[in-house]
Structure 1
């Protein structure tokens, strides 16, 4: 695993990001907590100078099991324990929820879980699985986040489009009445259903936008541009990426029955962004790919804007 991944699991088939330790059956929240090795708590301790004078206004977040310092936070910071994140997701999604993966990054500073509700959506003839990602940090660097990531089942392409009329990500800070905030966050299920409904309408819209072959190549060159004063090596590398993308649009078996339209194009871009092997396979590539599950992929959103502009 990449250096920043501390612990992680997945069920049966490796997720699209390709990270984790395999387990053989779907897990309950308690089982997932143990499989991801997240069954530890965070405690807060006061911070002192060398002569033992307490520093006011700040606390140290410490992992109880090994006394590892996770971060220095203000004394207004409220801890959301790992078991609370699992319990929240369990209660939110209800009976039949399946935890696909969970783990920690950066020696416990950041944790996440990814869960799939039991139902699927049929959008434009495709089976789409809605995934809910819960992300939390223990180092004070980020908020509590819940995000929707729809995945096209047949090819494991993510369709986490940024839609103007429906939110995909919901956040709250580590301050105030955390139990009340998590209770308020249960509305995310309503928001998630709204997002999936709007995504379905957007897919139907993209299906109606016809894209001739020469436009596909123009869009591809726009999304994968040559740098100014490109060297021969850069030209070769960019052409390699363009050839890869072109094959994903024109030759992908799962798109054979899809017309030459915006939906086909966005799937080819998603396939490229989600699965293409990079020119330089760095140690953090798969980890960064997974993190874009939460934040969204700018290449996919840029392609979506291109499609709408052509309508």
Structure 2
């Protein structure tokens, strides 16, 4: 089966999907560009079409309002977009991190290409870290991702990774993710994005303060079931208790992760706590949720429906300590 992940590179432990080229730490961006499959650029061509005509030859016309984007290396078509579409090149995603890695102590950890080149990303460790009770380590990251088919704005997202289970969670406070999004009808300016990110990244301490409260908040069985039904089934048990639950398989799986089967579920920070509830959902979305492949699950967990489920879990968990 063809992989959704075209190519990627990483440092440290092998990613959960088992794909990619392993690098030693502190490699230059030029090595990352080659090993992550990002050493090509997006080219443009006018849209042409052939109209039917009498006789053997038709008439070739140009459609001036749109253009075709294609890869410089394989010439494979990527998308048809408006002429106003502002392209962000794979090299630009990596270059975004140059001063951050050379001056600010960031370390690239993964980078790669999805869907044949229609999406690409880089993820770097910021150097921020916090430990919850029971030696539960959470590290700060910055994810920069974009698309060339209109499915994703160029998005810089402060992210956390719980080390024990490699769960990823977007930093979000008061129901609002701290991501910076640049739509493709606007030119991507790295300096402007980094200036905006300075505010978002500074919220790390406040975010981890809330997470520590989740680790202290003990929950009863009925609260746990209400949490999972709300997040996964979008059912409020106080108002509605149907005979058959939507998404029942997911409900059973996430409950088992919470009750001890999840990685890190028996740590003091997680056992019987709101932090444990949140991580049961994030582990389910990142590692267990049904998908056509691990690569599709990753795409969903970072950019799609899986990311929305994790955001709903975070919002619901924070309500428990409000």
Please classify the TM superposition score into its range, dividing by the shorter chain length: 0.7 to 0.9
Residue 80 of structure 2 aligns with which residue? Answer: 72
CA change 1:186–1:93 in 2 (3 A) is farther
Residue 22 of structure 2 aligns with which residue? Answer: 23
CA change 1:202–1:94 in 2 (3 A) is farther
Q: What's the CA shift for 1:220?
A: 4.0
TM-score, length of structure 1 as denominator length: 0.81
Residue 90 of structure 1 aligns with which residue? Answer: 98
By relative contact order (CA 8 Å, sep 6+), the higher-ranking structure is 1
Q: What's the CA shift for 1:2?
A: 5.4
Q: Distance in 1 between the 2:264 and 2:205 partners?
A: 29
Structure 1 residue runs of 5 or longer lacking an equivalent are none
- Is the contact made by 2:112 and 2:120 (CA closer than 8 Å) also made in structure 1? yes
Q: Distance in 1 between the 2:138 and 2:269 partners?
A: 17
- Is the contact made by 2:164 and 2:263 (CA closer than 8 Å) also made in structure 1? no
CA change 1:240–1:4 in 2 (3 A) is closer
Residue 252 of structure 1 aligns with which residue? Answer: 265
Residue 256 of structure 2 aligns with which residue? Answer: 243
SS at match of 1:267: helix
2:312 is the alignment partner of 1:302: yes
SS at match of 1:186: helix
Q: What's the CA shift for 1:241?
A: 5.1
- Is the contact made by 2:142 and 2:156 (CA closer than 8 Å) also made in structure 1? yes
CA change 1:113–1:249 in 2 (3 A) is closer
- Is the contact made by 2:210 and 2:318 (CA closer than 8 Å) also made in structure 1? no
CA change 1:259–1:48 in 2 (3 A) is closer
Aligned length: 301
Q: Distance in 1 between the 2:12 and 2:248 partners?
A: 40
Q: Distance in 2 between the 1:214 and 1:153 partners?
A: 29
Q: Distance in 2 between the 1:45 and 1:83 partners?
A: 20
Q: Distance in 1 between the 2:263 and 2:110 partners?
A: 32
Q: Distance in 1 between the 2:139 and 2:46 partners?
A: 45
CA change 1:74–1:269 in 2 (3 A) is closer
TM-score, length of structure 2 as denominator length: 0.78
SS at match of 2:60: coil
- Is the contact made by 1:102 and 1:114 (CA closer than 8 Å) also made in structure 2? yes
